[in-house]
Amino acid sequence: MQRLCAGTLATILLTPAGTGIRAQEAQDTGIKEEVSVRLVQMPILATDRQGRGIADLQANEIVVEHRGQKLKVAYLEPAKAVEEREALDARLYVEAPGGFDVPVSSTGLRSSYVIFFIDVDNDDTLRKDAAVESMLAFLQGTLEPGTRVAVVSFDGEVHLELTFTDDRSAISGALRQAWARHAQGRLDLRGQVRQFLGLLDQCMRTTDQFDRATADQSCVEQRSMEYAEQLRPRAEAFLTALAQTVRVAGGLRGPKSIVAVSHGIAADSSTEILEAVRSVYGPGDAITNLQVHLGFGGGPKAKLNELLGLALRNKVTLHFVDRTRAPSADIDATKGHPLQPGSRPLETAYTAAQEDLKEIAGSTGGVFVPSPDLAKGLASVRAAQAGSYELGFYVGDDIPSTSLVKIVISWKAPNEPSSDPVHNLTVVTQIK
């Protein structure tokens, strides 16, 4: 998964493989107790503190827990070993906007498949020429022979620039075409947050003797909902584009991955909305009431869960490289009024989208790399792959089907000093 450190949180949607396994345990009374267990399989990406893949983990070095109770690990296999068991034949029917129906097949050669997803709608508008050259260098010098590549771009709509091929000249042309597309909008988080803070200022009723603002609650709720509705279509379009790209690879047999260059957009805007309101009005009833009013989990968030389930069912790994630069300074005042001490509305808006990308990558055995230098970001994606595994573990009847449960996976990197902390990964799992 993404660089794994204590407290990392990713939300993943898992489906148990096959049917339940029945175990019988004899009791002293002669009565046999039947216990139903289910095998859960999931991809994980184990890296050390430097983000390098750990290639020599063993099953007995992995601990899987649910509410403090250890679960039995069935196996831990390197991803390459799992991939080698896949059939050699592959056939794909591309599903994408525009009615593409292009069958692609390969026989007699074990191929791997990579889709480059170029998101010009949620990416830095600068340094595009350098980004293209970095991707071409990655293509020519890093991808293994036999790798078949497709190119998808997103400018508010999905475009299949090139279906799977190993023709490096065609791939280079498709990448240049993808990067040349113009975004329907422009990624301007600072302007976006400033505009929202200005709207919240309009909800100010009075200031007290300490110059603290008080809010018209109905006005704050209305402005917040307008802001959420403004972002909702973009978030849904982005997640839909990723889902369509997963379907492009879904019909293939063999290792499949998507390498996306994107900052993304938060599926749930509640976090940045609440921080913006807190920065103007401070903690208090305005925040408490607004949390209830906004609600959580609907709309784009549901699409995020659907995307995770689709990627896991089709065994597609998603990697993300974010070229955007973190804000050098936050917004500390609006219309002459200082914001609340310690508030970080711009930083919160910036990291909210990244948290979703970390979740998607971690859920599918991929990696999220923030790097303005795309060449270094792609190299980090490559370096992490040594730590790709498939983990299988058993869950019993005490973990109900269709319930969301929290699973903690931990290990110690063999090459790290004994004084270093154990790596922990906490995942929220839905067992079906």
User: Mean per-residue pLDDT for 163-169?
Assistant: 92
* 1 assigned to some structural domain: no
What does the alpha-carbon distance between residue 101 and residue 95 come to, in Å, rounded to a whole number? 7
pLDDT (0 to 100) of residue 295:
63
pLDDT digits (tens, 9 = 90+) for 397-431: 777 665 556 678 887 666 666 655 566 666 555 56
Sign, CA dihedral 226-227-228-233, equals positive
Q: Is the pLDDT of residue 27 over 80?
A: no
266 or 426, which is more confident? 266
pLDDT (0 to 100) of residue 66:
84
Strand 63-66 relative to strand 69-71, pairing: antiparallel
Average pLDDT of the chain? 78
* 192 assigned to some structural domain: yes
**Amino acid sitting at position 150:** A
pLDDT (0 to 100) of residue 355:
92
pLDDT (0 to 100) of residue 426:
61
* 393 assigned to some structural domain: yes
First-last CA distance in the chain = 22
What does the alpha-carbon distance between residue 134 and residue 118 come to, in Å, rounded to a whole number? 13
Yes or no: say if 348 and 275 are a contact pair by the CB < 8 Å rule.
Answer: yes
- Nearest CA among 375, 377, 410, 412 for reference residue 48: 412
* 273 assigned to some structural domain: yes
* 244 assigned to some structural domain: yes
Only one residue has tokens 């899987």, namely 64
Exposure on the CB side of residue 135, measured as CA atoms within 13 A: 27
User: Mean per-residue pLDDT for 204-223?
Assistant: 75
Give the alpha-carbon dihedral of 188, 191, 195, 198, to 10 degrees.
150
What does the alpha-carbon distance between residue 156 and residue 123 come to, in Å, rounded to a whole number? 12
pLDDT (0 to 100) of residue 99:
38
pLDDT digits (tens, 9 = 90+) for 112-159: 899 999 999 998 878 888 999 999 988 887 777 778 999 999 999 999
pLDDT (0 to 100) of residue 211:
57
Q: Is the pLDDT of residue 313 over 60?
A: yes
3-state secondary structure of 18: coil
For residue 422, what are its two tokens? 């154990």
What does the alpha-carbon distance between residue 75 and residue 63 come to, in Å, rounded to a whole number? 11
Element (H, E) at 39: strand 32-45
Q: Is the pLDDT of residue 327 over 80?
A: yes
pTM exceeding 0.85: no
User: 182: exposed, middle or buried (C-beta count within 10 Å: 0-12, 13-18, 19+)?
Assistant: exposed
406 or 182, which is more confident? 182
The per-residue DSSP string of 215-264 comes to E-HHHHHHHHHHHHHHHHHHHHHHHHHHHHHHHHHHT--S-EEEEEE---
Backbone phi, psi, residue 306, to 5° = -65, -40
pLDDT (0 to 100) of residue 266:
92
CATH number, domain containing residue 182? 3.40.50.410
Confidence grade of residue 44 (pLDDT, cut at 50, 70, 90): confident
Q: Is the pLDDT of residue 338 over 60?
A: yes
* 3 assigned to some structural domain: no
* 127 assigned to some structural domain: yes
User: Mean per-residue pLDDT for 167-175?
Assistant: 94
What does the alpha-carbon distance between residue 158 and residue 181 come to, in Å, rounded to a whole number? 11
71 or 87, which is more confident? 71
For residue 330, what are its two tokens? 């936050």
What does the alpha-carbon distance between residue 219 and residue 205 come to, in Å, rounded to a whole number? 10
* 2 assigned to some structural domain: no
The number of domains in the chain is 1
The 10 Å Cβ neighbour count of residue 354 is: 18
- Nearest CA among 345, 363, 262 for reference residue 307: 363
User: 418: exposed, middle or buried (C-beta count within 10 Å: 0-12, 13-18, 19+)?
Assistant: exposed
pLDDT digits (tens, 9 = 90+) for 214-252: 778 889 889 999 999 999 999 999 999 999 999 999 888
User: Mean per-residue pLDDT for 12-22?
Assistant: 42
**Amino acid sitting at position 174:** A
Q: Is the pLDDT of residue 318 over 90?
A: yes
Q: What is the Cα gyration radius of the chain?
A: 24
Question: How many helices, marked H, and strands, marked E, lie in the chain?
Answer: 10, 21
Q: Is the pLDDT of residue 356 over 70?
A: yes
Q: Tell me which residue range forms the domain holding 135.
A: 8-430
